[in-house]
Structure 1
Amino acid sequence: MSDAKTTAGLFDCREAYVATLEALAHEDERIVAVVNDSVGSSKLGKFRSAFPDRMINVGIAEQAMVGVGAGLANGGKIPFVSGASCFLTGRALEQIKADVAYSQANVKLCGISSGIAYGELGPTHHSIEDLAWLRPMANLTVIVPSDPWETSEAIKAAAAFNGPVFIRISRMPVPALERANPTFTIGKAETLREGDDVAIIANGIMVHRALDAAQALAAEGISARVVNMSSLTPLDEQAILDAAATGAVVTVEEHSVKGGLGGAVAEVIATQAPCPMRILGFPGFLPTGSVEFLLERYGLTTDGIADAARGLLAKRAA
């Protein structure tokens, strides 16, 4: 795929999640939803109305929620366990590790309102460590969709996949990406724009910003490849090696610069194809502020991404 663009309008990926889940539930009675008093923020009200006997609300008890999900999976159900990512992964990390990943339970964990979507609520509600916590866990597939279409495809793929999956679902509005031949495969990256001067690897809400940055760089004669690395585990190492062949790589994520997408890409580049690299993300606990304020402050903007690419190219030329 090449020269991907964005369509007009912005979309809440939670809507794509629940619409897909409801459609799948009509086809497969094994599908159930488990929530932590988050029916509203998970947008599961219609699911509850359509399937009142297939919605389990455990209250504000994330550890119990994951345990219930594992029990349902052991009983032959396909549970989609939904809650704010900061609480789902932070409070129930032991249950995710022992009851889901280690036990290879067929549980689908849905981290809602991930990243800095709860900007004004501060560090307690920011979820910028979740990928670093989950990525090392054996058996756990980790997916970070970029737009509503990919969110829907990730939910379908997770339901069909026999094993534990974590899907990071943002509430922050994003444009839909135009794809010439859309195909979603767990473990496969998506090259949205070809380029041979520098590569920008992004996932989640950063993908459309990476595309905008590549467009800005093109106006300066810089050819930037854009890779959507929505599958963080398993990781498409060949796509990373292809990106490294450009000679410079920028990673962009709505996450800590430690242990997430940048860390995963750096592990491959450092051991197999060393080249100049820049990791864009958050350095640590963040101040309280709006989403746009935080993204601007830490350079997670079109200009910030383009500047990082220019800096790498200047370093390479020096």
Structure 2
Amino acid sequence: MAAQMNASNEAGNAPRAVRKRVKNGANHLAGYIFISPWLIGFLLLTLWPIAQSFYLSFTDYSLLEDPVWTGTSNYVNIFTNDSTFTKSLSVTFTFVLFSVPLKLLFSLLVAMALNQKLRGMNLYRTAIYFPSLIGGSIAVAALWRNMFGLDGYINQVLAWFGIQGVGWITNPDTSLGTLILLNTWQFGSTMVIFLAGLKQIPQELYESAAVDGANKFRRFISITIPMLSPVMFFNLILGVIGSFQTFTSAFIITKGGPVNSTYVYALFLYEKAFKHYQMGYASALAWILLAIVGILTAINFAVSRYWVFYESEGGGSK
């Protein structure tokens, strides 16, 4: 009798299980249909060009003729025979080394100033963030070139105080500094992220520390920095990646000069591809840049466990 009941239940459950699988399959199909435009775009406009670029990095390709397979010759030439590669990489590392910390520091200071409870603070935040909406445009780069030219606005202001200005963008000693300053000035997005992070810090922590006698500097070191460290880490990763890709400012303001003092890696890659039509060589340069950024990102993630604080992990560092 029990065996017959079990057999009857199994027979009843079988159609139910089939209907459930059919329903789940229909739901999955509907989901894939809805995301199909993105999937098609990703496959055709992102994944396929990446695969093509990797293939072309092993070829000699000039856009005018079919690519010719040359193996690893592009990579060998880059690392052994191309002094411009070394120079551009050195300039780019210098740019990243100075611009990223300065941008993070300046953004944090501005975010802390805008985190105060003052009347009209929303207006101040909007006014300070507004220039960043056009911060990476060609127009801003052209304006920067006019400001720091020999007859630019900066030298005109210095002349009021009897100070002899210099050609900031034509002097090899100061040209890269102008680009670093421009990158630091484009702090809007980083500042907004810092401001959001500051607003997530519980005010009770500051109040308790103040009761215990901690001054503002002590509260900043012991509360603000640890609680804000995940946001700092996020901005650091974005800053490093973005700085390695800097191009517009060097292309518009200095053209890589003078004496290649601002000849950043992205400008070198661009000229190889669209000035000399060495697409295979440029593809190899692009993959080397990807490897460098990937290695630095991995190092940052490995080191982050020693200084990034995650409250969700028991109040300790990762």
TM bucket (normalised to shorter chain) is under 0.3
TM score, norm. by length of structure 2: 0.22
TM score, norm. by length of structure 1: 0.22
Structure number with higher strand proportion: 1
Structure number with higher helix proportion: 2
- RCO higher in 1 or 2 (8 Å CA, sep ≥ 6)? 2
